[in-house]
Amino acid sequence: MKKGGFVFLLLLIPCLAFGAWPEREITVYNGSSAGGVTDMATRILSDSVGKMFGQPVVVVNKPGASHTVCANLVANAKPDGYTLGTLSSGAFIQVPHQRKVPFDPLKDFTPIMSYSYYLYGLAVRSDSPWKTFEDFIAYAKANPGKIRYSTSGVGTGQHVIMEYLAMKEKIKWTHIPFTASPQAVAACLGGHVEAVSQTPEWKEQVDAGALRLLVCWNDKRMPFYPKVPTLMEKGHDFAVQALINIYGPANTPKTVVDTVYRAFRQAADTEEMKQLLQKVGYPLDIKTAEEVSSVIKKDYENNGKVLKELGLGIYKK
């Protein structure tokens, strides 16, 4: 037997233990809009998994409210493995501290895996006068209300960190939210906003020289832009972290979780997936259900502490 066939046989063992699962189409709700990185990655993964299972794995985009629209659909689905969701962990660790959500972020879901994590940064047009993060902040402080910045939604990590900076640096600027990441980047390119605080949908434009990346919002420098400093290096004790997760509803059987994990892990390791992540600037970083659960709980608590300290979201005084 060929090695690939042996691996696939091992993959099917949990299915057989649960019954002939899957027996029908699987729906994967995607919290991002069509055309974004998460959407493209979800479709590559789902196509590969569908071929492994011999059943369609259909991706349905359900963007809105920082992935919480999608999350609510997953939370209320039957826990049989036929409804899954590809979601940013921001929907669980950040948004519930911003506003009331119709689900319990720590109890209403079954983590299955994560295959990458979002990179975040602040970019401006390359013909702007701001060569460094310090230049940008100095201008914003000296010119209240002059800076408009775009993101892909209210309550996202890239929005929260700009509000954090506004409070810490006593800056007044205007948030222009969009429903999709490409729109947020296009707004900056078109001069409709002065900056875009976003995940690497700006990468192609940064590489082409149309945009300039000023700072990274993650806790460590980006592997693709090692010369771009982090906000923490600039003296701020705050970073944006969000895994790209695959979830099921709470109480999804472990046998199904294990089967789905093995399939999506194998799909994430394909050359097509690796090439996409390389192109858009996302690292391939596989985490198990247990690891995802641990990260979510920790980040949920940390975000709550920071937002409470700042008096933002549900802690607004």
By percentage, how much of the chain surpasses pLDDT 70?
Answer: 94
The mean per-residue pLDDT over the stretch 248-261 comes to 96
- Residue 7 has a pLDDT of 46
Q: For 31-35, 67-71, 165-169, which range has the lowest pLDDT when averaged over its residues?
A: 31-35
- The band of 20, judged by pLDDT with boundaries at 50, 70 and 90, is confident
* Residue 2, pLDDT above cutoff 50: no
- Residue 138 has a pLDDT of 98
CATH fold label, 3-118+242-315:
D-Maltodextrin-Binding Protein; domain 2 (3.40.190)
The mean per-residue pLDDT over the stretch 96-106 comes to 94
**Residues forming a β-bridge with 124:** 195, 212
The 3-class SS string of 280-297 reads HCCCCCCEEHHHHHHHHH
Alpha carbons 154 and 178: distance in angstroms, whole number: 8
The mean per-residue pLDDT over the stretch 102-125 comes to 96
Tell me how far CA of residue 72 lies from CA of 37, 75, 133, 153, 247, in angstroms: 21, 5, 37, 17, 11
Give φ, ψ of 213 to 5 degrees: -90, 120
By percentage, how much of the chain surpasses pLDDT 90?
Answer: 72
301-311 per-position pLDDT tens digit: 988 988 898 78
The mean per-residue pLDDT over the stretch 233-239 comes to 91
* Residue 163, pLDDT above cutoff 70: yes
- Residue 233 has a pLDDT of 96
Class of domain 121-234: alpha beta
- Residue 18 has a pLDDT of 41
Matching fold, domains 3-118+242-315 and 121-234:
yes
Every domain of the chain and the residues it spans:
3-118+242-315, 121-234
The answer to whether the pTM exceeds 0.75 is yes
Of 30, 11, 50, give the one whose Cα is nearest residue 91.
30
The mean per-residue pLDDT over the stretch 114-139 comes to 96
- Residue 19 has a pLDDT of 53
- Residue 280 has a pLDDT of 79
Give φ, ψ of 99 to 5 degrees: -160, 170
* Residue 10, pLDDT above cutoff 70: no
Summary mean pLDDT of the chain: 91
185-221 per-position pLDDT tens digit: 999 999 999 999 999 899 999 999 999 999 999 989 9
* Residue 15, pLDDT above cutoff 60: no
- Residue 311 has a pLDDT of 84
- Residue 14 has a pLDDT of 43
